[in-house]
């Protein structure tokens, strides 16, 4: 070991000596991975680091409860070791060790480098907690023998991805979607009496109420909440307990169940042991399914934001049926111009999520060969990036767009009488063909449907007024 005042210390593993930053809690295998993968500079998401910490904590408790405290050989634990490992794991979960995970996302496809990274960090921090020398050659709490007891990267790393994904959906995405749904419903109720013209194919259609339009948006978000719950459900089965290939070699038969139960207690999320460990180790189908639901949510948010952007276009030469909050100057050359920046932000981030779904699909389909998927780090990164983008994006969209969004009743109602599709309500009285002829005449003359009908005495005034009442056209009529 070098002096602590020097830049590096020497660590030794099965491949020989490695120079490791002197104060780092990680050791040789982490450093080898840092040197091997100078790819992107992207580290694993902090949510995944927390998930790994939760899994290691649950594993330590499960080993303790399964009686791994007595016996002979390396594969034993003392109460003191378990207590120290649990404390070190909690520090990882609490974010106190975030700087100790330097490995690039684009690493070994199983995540072995990152699994050993956390094993080394927990080992060295636990040694320190019990008053030992973490720089000593002999490790009283060994990263493989003790921290990784009863485990393999192949079952614990995907377990951590599942745990992190479910936790982020549960604690961040669903609450933000619920907030957005409430705001949408409030707008829908507030604007229920404002009549406006509908648009299909971007062309004039029959009237509806602004509240009905926003009620439709609210329902889209309500369905997105259900999709988020399905996304969480897809990752509740945990691979832990399958070890290397799904057979459970070197672990207790009850290990997987006990770890899942502890993770459920930790998080309040009903995690369970995988029904079939060979499937759970080898394939990431559940993760792909989960992200598919996330992609659908992204598509919905893209659509809603884009519709609001169109409705707010103007202020003089567009629709301007809703008034978006002014957030920032919109042009470097056109003074006074203000753009729908929050809608645009939402559309961009949801486009990224949709792109991530392609990554997830390809990794799930091509990376799952035989007993192991070998594209898991990038799957975990893409999944958690998508959830974070949506959660953060929704929060900003609510605060900086939806909360301050106002209706423009004058602009909404001004276009109603001008719509040629007002003629639709006359179909039951004069038939489709005559109504179509009136439409062409109205367009050619520049007159409204009402004006032309009065001029030609198409219907008695009372009947005509009732048929062309915009409000009655927004609901079914017996």
Residues with catalytic function? 201, 331
Report the candidate in 256, 267, 265 with the shortest Cα–Cα distance to residue 232: 267
Structural tokens at position 427 = 């179909």
Between CA 31 and CA 48 the distance in angstroms is: 19
* Alpha helices (runs of H) in 169-234, residue ranges in sequence order: 174-190, 210-233
Provide the terminal-to-terminal Cα distance of the chain, rounded to the nearest Å: 89
Q: Please, are residues 245 and 154 in contact by the beta-carbon 8 Å criterion?
A: yes
Q: Which residue has the tokens 């040197």?
A: 35
Alpha-carbon distances of 212 from 71, 186, 197, 203, 299, rounded to whole Å: 70, 12, 12, 18, 21
User: Phi, psi (5° rounding) for residue 10?
Assistant: -100, 125
For 133, other C-beta atoms within 10 Å of its C-beta total 13
Find, among 177, 346, 200, 375, the residue nearest to 287 by Cα.
375
Q: Is 198 helix (H, G, I), strand (E, B) or coil?
A: strand
Alpha helices in 11-70 (DSSP H): 28-36, 46-65
Determine contact, residues 158/284, Cβ cutoff 8 Å: yes
Stated as kind and residue range, the H or E segment containing 366 is: helix 341-367
Cα-based torsion angle of the residue sequence 255, 256, 260, 265 in order, rounded to the nearest 10 degrees: 0
Count CA within 13 A, CB hemisphere, residue 352: 16
């Amino acid at each position: 070991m070098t002096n602590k005042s020097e830049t590096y210390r020497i660590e030794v593993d099965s491949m020989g000596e490695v120079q490791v930053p002197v104060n780092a809690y990680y050791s040789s295998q982490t450093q080898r991975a840092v040197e091997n993968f100078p790819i992107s500079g992207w580290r694993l998401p902090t949510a995944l680091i927390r998930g790994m910490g939760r899994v290691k904590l649950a594993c330590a408790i499960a080993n303790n409860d399964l009686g791994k405290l007595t016996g002979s050989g390396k594969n034993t634990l003392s109460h003191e070791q378990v207590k120290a490992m649990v404390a070190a794991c909690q520090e990882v979960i609490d974010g106190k060790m975030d700087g100790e995970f330097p490995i690039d996302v684009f690493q070994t496809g199983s995540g072995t480098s990152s699994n050993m990274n956390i094993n080394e960090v927990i080992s060295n921090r636990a040694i320190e907690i019990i008053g030992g020398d973490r720089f000593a050659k002999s490790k009283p709490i060994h990263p493989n023998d003790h921290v990784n007891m009863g485990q393999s990267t192949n079952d614990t790393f995907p377990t951590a991805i599942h745990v992190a994904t479910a936790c982020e959906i549960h604690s961040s995405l669903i609450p933000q979607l619920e907030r957005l749904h409430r705001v949408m419903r409030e707008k829908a109720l507030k604007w229920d009496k404002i009549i406006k013209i509908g648009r299909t194919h971007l062309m004039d259609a029959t009237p509806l109420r602004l509240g009905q339009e926003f009620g439709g948006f609210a329902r889209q978000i309500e369905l997105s909440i259900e999709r988020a719950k399905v996304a969480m459900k897809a990752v509740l089965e945990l691979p832990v307990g399958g070890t290397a290939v799904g057979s459970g070699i070197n672990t207790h038969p009850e290990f997987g169940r006990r770890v899942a139960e502890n993770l459920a207690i930790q998080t309040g999320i009903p995690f369970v042991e995988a029904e079939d460990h060979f499937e759970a180790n080898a394939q990431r189908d559940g993760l792909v399914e989960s992200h598919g639901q996330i992609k659908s949510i992204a598509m919905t948010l893209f659509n809603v934001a884009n519709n609001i952007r169109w409705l707010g276009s103007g202020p003089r030469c567009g629709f301007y049926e809703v008034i978006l909050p002014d957030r920032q100057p919109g042009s470097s050359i056109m003074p006074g111009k203000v753009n729908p920046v929050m809608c645009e932000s939402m559309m961009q981030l949801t486009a990224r999520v949709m792109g991530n779904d392609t990554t997830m699909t390809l990794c799930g389909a091509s990376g799952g060969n035989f007993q192991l998927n070998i594209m898991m780090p990038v799957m975990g990164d893409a999944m958690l990036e998508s959830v974070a983008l949506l959660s953060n994006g929704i929060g900003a969209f609510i605060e900086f767009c939806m909360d301050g969004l106002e209706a423009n009743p004058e602009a909404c109602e001004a276009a109603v009488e001008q719509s040629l599709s007002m003629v639709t309500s006359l179909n039951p009285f004069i038939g489709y063909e005559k109504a179509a002829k009136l439409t062409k005449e109205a367009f050619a003359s520049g007159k409204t449907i009402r004006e032309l009908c009065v001029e030609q005495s198409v219907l008695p005034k009372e009947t005509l007024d009732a048929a062309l009442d915009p409000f009655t056209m927004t609901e079914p009529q017996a």
